[in-house]
């Protein structure tokens, strides 16, 4: 087993991201939601409607 530190892991990850051309947080693709259940879609719809009245209440993005 190889021991490492969080600093070394963080440095390695930053180097690897640079090698792959990944910048910022935009490289993480959002979940398309194609396999969501009816219940989950209903929950997300309810949360979206609640957030519409108060945009600061809930901060999330989802595709229904």
Of 33, 55, 28, the C-alpha closest to 44 is 33
Contact between 50 and 58 under an 8 Å Cβ cutoff? The reply is yes
Is residue 38 a part of any domain in this protein? Answer: yes
For 64, the token pair is 């229904």
Residue 59: inside a domain, yes or no? no
Whether the pLDDT of residue 39 is over 90: the answer is: yes
49 confidence band (pLDDT: 50, 70, 90): confident
**3-class DSSP state for residue 12?**
helix
Give tens-digit pLDDT for 21-32.
888 777 777 778
Confidence at residue 1, expressed as pLDDT on a 0 to 100 scale: 82
Please determine, for residue 62, whether its predicted confidence score (pLDDT) is greater than 80: no
Provide the domain count of the chain.
1
What are the structure tokens assigned to 11, written together? 């440095």
CA 8-11-17 angle, to 5 degrees, is: 140
Q: Is residue 21 part of a domain?
A: yes
């Amino acid at each position: 087993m190889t021991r490492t530190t969080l600093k070394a892991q963080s440095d390695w990850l930053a180097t690897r991201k640079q090698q792959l051309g990944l910048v910022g947080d935009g490289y993480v693709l959002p979940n398309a939601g194609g396999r969501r259940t009816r219940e989950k879609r209903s929950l997300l719809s309810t949360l979206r409607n609640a957030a519409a009245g108060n945009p600061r209440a809930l901060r999330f993005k989802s595709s229904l």
